Structure 1
Amino acid sequence: PGRQAIFGNSADDHLQVHELDTTHADVTEGSGGAWERLHYDWTDPHRIVMTTTDSNLWGGNSGHTYTLTPRPDGTTDIDAVVVRDGKNLKGRALAAVLGAFGTRVLGKAFDNTIAAIESRNHTPRTANNT
């Protein structure tokens, strides 16, 4: 509940959890006409890999990888890699737009997600966000 408040591109009414375990999940999520089924793998707590297994837009090697590096000051560096291989005309067009403007568009969404998580956990951000 409340996932949409943290992940703006994942509407609560489009979320379906197919399988959930301590180290992985199989989830369909999306919003605004775009959806994907993702296999989440967090067997390494410092690396979360989300592989797209089905989607109305994405195919090929699509997915997300988040590498978390704890810092001595208690903060965490997050390296996010998002791969978008369009599987149809709409997906390829959106992938081209994301290729050109993705850092700005996805970066803003990512910043909003981090701010929402920090707000939920009452932990103010102190690191410089670039």
Structure 2
Amino acid sequence: MSTIHFTETTTATPEQFVSALTDFGPGRSQVFGNSTDEYLEVHAQGRSEADVTEGSRGIWERLHYDWSDPDHVVMTTTDSNVWGGHSGHTYTFARRPDGKTDMDVVVVREGKNLRGRVLGVVVGTVGKRVLRQALENSVKAVEARNRGTGTAQRP
């Protein structure tokens, strides 16, 4: 099992980032590159939770999203072709006095089959850099979305 921990600071408010995280409409991949429209399926959605399948590049997972605490979003993997057990994502937001937001992101990857176990090792080692870049791209895209300038790409 791999547990990856990131911290990031953004100009987006917690509400703005949660809004982006829970926007399951078309074009989601412009903000979250690992969630392509081809895999996206919303099974159920309420005021503060959703049941969504998403993925990309042959990897998918069904996630239970819980954003009942506006400063803490928990995405628990309920099914996947590679992830199982304790897999999921947790986003915790803390407002700063300067108006920025500190984000604490934890990604847990526990493989449920051989492919998942191999991917879990890769994610926990060399894949961490790729996940870091994906998070940075998402933060830039959310910030650009909130400025009304569209999706920003990192050079």
TM-score between the two structures when normalised by the length of structure 1: 0.92
1:47-72 CA-to-partner distances (Å, cap 9, x unmatched) read 00000000000000000000000111
| Match of residue 46, structure 1, among 67, 71, 74 | 71
| Match of residue 3, structure 1, among 22, 28, 43 | 28
C-alpha distance in 2 between matches for 1:14 and 1:47: 25
Residue 79 of structure 1 pairs with residue 91 of structure 2? no
| Match of residue 87, structure 2, among 53, 62, 70 | 62
Query: What is the match of residue 50 of structure 2?
Result: 25
Query: Offset of 1:121 from its aligned partner?
Result: 1.0
C-alpha distance in 2 between matches for 1:31 and 1:102: 15
Residue 35 of structure 1 pairs with residue 54 of structure 2? no
Q: CA 1:9–1:113 in 2, change beyond 3 Å: closer, same or farther?
A: same
Q: Percent identity?
A: 61
Extract unaligned runs of 5+ from structure 2. Answer: 1-25, 150-155
Q: Could you say what secondary structure the match of 2:86 adopts?
A: strand
Question: Which one has a larger percent strand, Structure 1 or Structure 2?
Answer: 1
Query: What is the match of residue 120 of structure 1?
Result: 145
Query: What is the match of residue 100 of structure 1?
Result: 125
Query: Offset of 1:120 from its aligned partner?
Result: 1.0
C-alpha distance in 1 between matches for 2:41 and 2:122: 27
Q: What is the root-mean-square deviation of aligned Cα atoms in Å? A: 1.3
TM-score between the two structures when normalised by the length of structure 2: 0.77
C-alpha distance in 2 between matches for 1:83 and 1:122: 31
| Match of residue 134, structure 2, among 85, 109, 117 | 109
1:72-121 CA-to-partner distances (Å, cap 9, x unmatched) read 11110000000000001111001001111243111100000011111111
How many equivalent residue pairs? 124
